[in-house]
Amino acid sequence: MASSSFLFLHVLVMLSLARMAFSDLSNDFYDDVCPEALPTIKQVVEDAVRQERRMGASLLRLHFHDCFVNGCDASILLDQTSTIDSEKTARANNNSARGFEVIDKIKFEVDKVCGRPVISCADILAVAAHDSLHGPTWEVPLGRRDSTTASRTTANNDIPTPFMDLPALIDNFKKQGLDEEDLVALSGGHTLGFAQCSTFRNRIYNDTNIDSTFASQRQENCPRSGSDSNLASLDPTPALFDSKYFSNLVSKKGLLHSDQALFSGGETDELVKTYSTNLRIFSKDFAESMIKMGNIKPLTGNQGQIRVDCRKGPQLTRRRRPQKAFDAPLHIGGSSSSAHASTHPQDPLSAVLKAKISPVKAAEDFYVDAA
Ligand code: HEM
């Protein structure tokens, strides 16, 4: 009796150890099942960024907004339905998060090249964020699975706001298991991209820790009322991964209140100064913190699902036993490729991207100005 319970315990321990190992993300997760997956993602990201330079910034931000809401599980991609509480209309995302069509295109191309849906939407977000930077590179840990749910309320509560002071930002990141160094390094993501007038109006009219010439310049395109969606770049070189975001903070030219909070007499001042003059250290820390952020509560093993359409929740009628990356839905209303074809026309990118790019003309003008 004693020996059989010992054996049972032993098996239990072995199983849980195997489970732990299985649950971890790994760099080679798709190497055997679909070696073409990562180059395909890179190709689609590069095409999209070539078509519209701001898209790199937008893809980076999508991964961040995904990870901060119940972990990196692609919950941000789910559309509203009677059972899905979409995060797309949460305050930080509504009329602001962009790049969803590029993720659709990646998923379409990757499933095509892999022959079936083996790559999760959550992993696509992580890899696209990496490939979009034209900056530091690192091996992106993979093996995340996709959520079956989303939460607008959690998105409203957990994505930091541009009106936060340093203690609130530190607290916000801490809740995600990220420390002050991660906060400063990851905020360096604002070396890319743009913000709308409504997010920095209060700062340029009311903050005191702001360079007065910079404030007046920004006021020209962001009046006291109206023009809420007018854009300003988050640093002077919105298409370049450089340290200007940080040198700008040192000169009190942070665009968002939350940006300047990182250099405003608090404990993060020193690190901002370091990054402002040392792109190499910033790049290294940024890469490390991106890996840390990408590890926030991933679904692994047999948790969650691998979506066929990144915008849609559970579509399965039957599942087979999970098997590393091959854990994919079997029946999705016909073959996976025909299911895809119904949601994605032959070449969705040309149609979809072209349709969506026009509102960003203003941002493209900035790139011309900055060049
Ligand atoms: C520290 C707290 C953060 C706050 C309060 C914040 C807030 C914001 C806001 C308000 C915008 C402008 C959105 C708009 O006007 O539509 C923005 C843009 C952006 N954020 Fe953050 N952010 C934070 C951290 C991060 C992190 C950690 C990353 C990535 C690692 C990131 C990447 C970006 C990028 C790339 C853009 C430009 C997006 C585009 O041009 O489409 N942000 N952020």
Over residues 85-143, the pLDDT tens digits come to 999 999 999 999 999 999 999 999 999 999 999 999 999 999 999 999 999 999 999 99
Q: What share of the chain is helix, strand, coil (3-state, %, to 5)?
A: 55, 5, 45
- At 290 the pLDDT is 98
pLDDT digits (tens, 9 = 90+) for 252-303: 999 999 999 999 999 999 999 999 999 999 999 999 999 999 999 999 999 9
Ligand 1 pocket mutation, candidates 53, 61, 242, criterion most atoms within 8 A of CB: 61
Residue of the CA atom closest to atom 24 of ligand 1? 187
289 lines ligand 1 (CB under 6 A): no
Percent of the chain with pLDDT over 90: 78
Q: 363 pLDDT band (50/70/90 cuts)? A: low
Angle at 98 between CA 94 and CA 102, to 5 degrees: 145
Q: Which of 10, 63, 65, 331 is catalytic?
A: 65
Contacts of 142 (CB under 8 A, 6+ apart): 25, 26, 27, 28, 29, 30, 123, 126, 127
User: Which of 292, 319, 324, 298 has the alpha carbon at shortest distance from 123?
Assistant: 298
For the beta carbon of residue 68, count every other beta carbon within 10 angstroms. 24
Per the annotation, does 87 bind a ligand? yes
Residues paired with residue 299 on neighbouring β-strands, in sequence order = 145
Residue of the CA atom closest to atom 6 of ligand 1? 162
The answer on pLDDT for 345 being more than 80 is no
Ligand 1 pocket mutation, candidates 190, 202, 204, 255, criterion most atoms within 8 A of CB: 190
**How far is ligand 1, taken at its centre, from the CA of residue 160, in Å?**
9
192 lines ligand 1 (CB under 6 A): yes
**How far is ligand 1, taken at its centre, from the CA of residue 60, in Å?**
9
Please answer whether residues 138 and 291 qualify as being in contact, where contact means their C-beta atoms are separated by less than 8 angstroms: yes
For the entire predicted model, the pTM comes to: 0.84
Q: Are strands 194-196 and 231-233 parallel, antiparallel or unpaired?
A: antiparallel
Please give the residue that has the higher pLDDT: either 23 or 190: 190
254 lines ligand 1 (CB under 6 A): no
Q: Scanning the structure block, which residue is given the tokens 């909070």?
A: 261
- At 314 the pLDDT is 86
**How far is ligand 1, taken at its centre, from the CA of residue 233, in Å?**
11
- At 269 the pLDDT is 98
- At 364 the pLDDT is 57
Q: 160 pLDDT band (50/70/90 cuts)? A: very high
Average pLDDT, the chain: 85
Buried b (16+ CB within 10 A) or exposed e, 288-302: ebbbbbbbbebbbbe
Residue of the CA atom closest to atom 41 of ligand 1? 58
The answer on pLDDT for 240 being more than 80 is yes
Average pLDDT in the 182-204 region?
98
The question of whether 65 is a catalytic residue gets the answer yes
Task: Give the separation between CA 363 and CA 99, rounded to whole angstroms.
Answer: 14
Q: What is the DSSP letter of 89?
A: G
102 lines ligand 1 (CB under 6 A): no
Q: Tell which atom from ligand 1 comes closest to the C-alpha of 194.
A: 40
The amino acid that residue 73 corresponds to is D
Q: 247 pLDDT band (50/70/90 cuts)? A: very high
Q: Scanning the structure block, which residue is given the tokens 């090249």?
A: 113
Q: 1 pLDDT band (50/70/90 cuts)? A: very low
160 lines ligand 1 (CB under 6 A): yes
Average pLDDT in the 169-185 region?
98
Task: Give the separation between CA 260 and CA 110, rounded to whole angstroms.
Answer: 40
